[in-house]
């Protein structure tokens, strides 16, 4: 069986997040981020920022959001400017 691509992992994370299954969303976003998918990193940072499915950790949130920006995620770059 082929490994899911980062976009598929991200999409699964979004579905889990909408269903308020934050622990599962974290797993999907983490996998997508590890595959250098900016949306996954930004969403993972957002979970840490809000303390959803993880212990709230603003340092980790900033690290993931910064990585997302470096990977070209414009929404993440905008979020960094607002901090």
> For 6-65, how does the pLDDT look when each residue is reduced to its tens digit (9 = 90+)?
999 999 999 999 999 999 999 999 999 999 999 999 999 999 999 999 999 999 999 999
Residue 56's φ and ψ, nearest 5 degrees, are: -55, 130
The domains found in the chain, sorted by start residue, are 7-82 (1.25.40.10)
pLDDT at 82: 84
pLDDT at 4: 79
CA distances from 20 to 26, 31, 39, 59 (A): 11, 18, 18, 23
pLDDT at 78: 96
Residue 10: CA count within 13 A, CB half-sphere? 16
> For 50-81, how does the pLDDT look when each residue is reduced to its tens digit (9 = 90+)?
999 999 999 999 999 999 999 999 999 999 99
Tokens 């910064």, located at residue: 66
Is the pTM for the entire model greater than 0.75? yes
CA distance 33 to 68: 8
pLDDT at 2: 65
The answer to whether 70 touches 37, Cβ cutoff 8 Å, is no
């Amino acid at each position: 069986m082929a490994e899911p691509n980062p976009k598929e992992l991200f999409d699964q994370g979004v579905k889990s997040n909408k269903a308020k299954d934050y622990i599962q969303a974290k797993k999907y976003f983490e996998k997508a981020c590890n595959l250098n998918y900016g949306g996954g990193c930004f969403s993972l940072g957002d979970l840490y920022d809000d303390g959803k499915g993880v212990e709230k950790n603003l340092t980790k949130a900033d690290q993931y959001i910064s990585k997302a920006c470096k990977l070209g995620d414009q929404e993440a770059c905008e979020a960094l400017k607002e901090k």
